[in-house]
């Protein structure tokens, strides 16, 4: 089946299946993301998820340019590109600096969406690096962690300037979104968060849908790093996929899209990149079988507490 699109609250459309570029498997060393990006675009991906903190946007830009040069029928506007502002760049003037740096590295005049990467802010050094304490943890900037209005106003200004078509957030909890919506003149179009059967995040999803904010799932296949439970080894899910005649990755990607959000699998392995680019129709019984596995689960695989800010203190209490 063709990969569907979602319409954002500003009328812009985004492909439901994107290509994640964070530390993708196999991307070790300078220049390692250039070819995987070109390969993904050749396979059919039209949604690239990037961030300044990934430190590979120059390589992504090279891969994108390689593809566009060799595929003149595809235009820049056919590809949805997201980038993100890291937490030490939340001062209004630094938000613009961050986007300008990303645009320069990507070789683009605009991005399709600019996100705040996390809902907490940190101090920065004079050379625009994160300021850390003696333990190596981020020095949190409480003022902009507690009040997102100055940062969001800067985001809105960039949206109005045309440097980004849309603005949104990532890793925002319901209380963060509630506060943001009280003063936002431009609503966030999306909230990119961790979602998979071991962390279905149903309450947050329902909040986003009710406020016309598209959820976007990172780590939709779980994580292979620093976790005790590996989603891709779940016997119940593997049985559902085998019975369906699809890979487990294809099952999880299709389950996420059928739930109503975009998904961002990542890999630099050409075969896996190709395998992941499949949306298969799930019957109600197949969908509910995955839902049954997800019911009551709450295993978070991405937690930035080592940054010096605990996003989910109730989970570590």
Residue numbers belonging to the annotated binding site for substrate: 117
Return the DSSP state at 78: G
Q: How far apart are CA 303 and CA 277, in angstroms?
A: 27
Residues tagged active-site? 54
Q: Other CB atoms closer than 10 Å to residue 242's CB: what's the count?
A: 12
> Tokens in use for 59?
């390589």
Return the DSSP state at 135: T
> Tokens in use for 132?
């850390």
What's the gap between Cα 273 and its chain centre?
Answer: 17
Contacts of 60 (CB under 8 A, 6+ apart): 21, 33, 34, 37, 48, 50, 105, 106
SS (H, E, C) 137-177: CECECHHHHHCCHHHHHHHHHHHHHCCECCEEEECCCHHHH
DSSP strands (E only) in 47-204: 47-49, 80-85, 113-116, 167-170, 190-194
Contacts of 302 (CB under 8 A, 6+ apart): 194, 218, 219, 223
With beta carbons less than 8 A apart as the criterion, state whether 48 and 63 touch: no
């Amino acid at each position: 089946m063709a990969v569907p699109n979602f319409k954002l609250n500003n009328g812009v459309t985004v492909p439901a299946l994107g290509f994640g570029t964070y530390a993708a498997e196999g991307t070790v060393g300078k220049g390692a993301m250039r070819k995987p990006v070109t390969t993904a675009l050749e396979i059919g991906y039209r949604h690239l998820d990037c961030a300044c903190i990934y430190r590979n946007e120059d390589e992504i830009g090279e891969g994108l340019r390689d593809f566009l040069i060799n595929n003149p029928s595809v235009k820049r506007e056919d590809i949805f590109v997201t980038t993100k502002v890291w937490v030490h760049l939340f001062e209004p003037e630094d938000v613009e600096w961050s986007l300008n740096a990303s645009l320069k590295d990507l070789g683009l005049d605009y991005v399709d969406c600019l996100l705040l990467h996390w809902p907490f802010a940190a101090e920065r050094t004079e050379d625009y690096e994160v300021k850390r304490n003696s333990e190596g943890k981020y020095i949190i900037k409480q003022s902009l962690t507690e009040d997102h209005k100055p940062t969001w106003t800067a985001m809105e200004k960039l949206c109005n300037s045309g440097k980004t078509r849309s603005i949104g957030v990532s890793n925002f909890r319901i209380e963060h979104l509630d506060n943001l919506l009280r003063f936002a003149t431009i609503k966030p179009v999306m909230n990119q968060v961790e979602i998979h059967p071991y962390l279905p995040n149903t309450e947050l999803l329902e909040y986003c849908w009710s406020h016309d904010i598209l959820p976007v799932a990172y780590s939709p296949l779980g994580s292979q790093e620093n976790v005790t439970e590996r989603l891709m080894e779940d016997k119940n899910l593997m049985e559902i996929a085998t019975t369906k005649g699809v890979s487990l990755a294809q099952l999880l990607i299709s389950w996420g899209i059928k739930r109503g959000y975009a998904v961002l699998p990542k890999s630099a392995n050409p075969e896996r990149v190709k395998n992941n680019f499949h949306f298969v129709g799930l019957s109600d019984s197949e969908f509910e079988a995955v839902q049954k596995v997800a019911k009551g689960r709450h295993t978070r695989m991405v937690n930035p507490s080592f940054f010096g800010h605990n996003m989910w203190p109730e989970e570590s209490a």
